[in-house]
Amino acid sequence: MLDSATENLYHICHQFLTQSPQQRLVILQNLGLGRYAFLSQMPLTEANIACVMRFFRTPNQVKFPNLKGAELSSLVLDGVNFIRGDLTGATLQGSSLREADLIFANFTQADLRNADLRGASLNETIWLGALVAGCNFGTGIGLSPRQRTELEIQGGRFESFPNVN
* 131-165 pLDDT per residue, tens: 999 999 999 999 999 999 999 999 999 997 655 44
Instruction: Please state the domain count of the chain.
Output: 2
Chosen domain end from 62, 77, 94: 62
- Mean pLDDT for 103-122 is 98
Check residue 34 and report its DSSP letter. Answer: G
Calculate the alpha carbon distances from 77 to 9, 10, 19, 83, 160 in Å.
Answer: 26, 25, 19, 13, 24
Range of the domain at 45: 1-62
The reported pLDDT for the residue numbered 161 is 62
Q: Would you tell me how many other CB atoms lie within 10 Å of the CB of residue 121? A: 20
The predicted pLDDT at position 160 comes to: 79
Domain shared by 80 and 128, yes or no: yes
Of 62, 94, 111, the position where a domain reaches its end is 62
pLDDT in tens, 14-45: 999 999 999 999 999 999 999 999 999 999 99
The reply to whether the predicted model has a pTM over 0.85 is yes
How many whole angstroms separate alpha carbon 46 and alpha carbon 84?
Answer: 24
20 and 52 together in one domain: yes
**Residue at 42 is within a domain:** yes
pLDDT score recorded for residue 164 = 47
Q: Same domain, yes or no, for 152 and 106? A: yes
Amino acid letter for position 152:
E
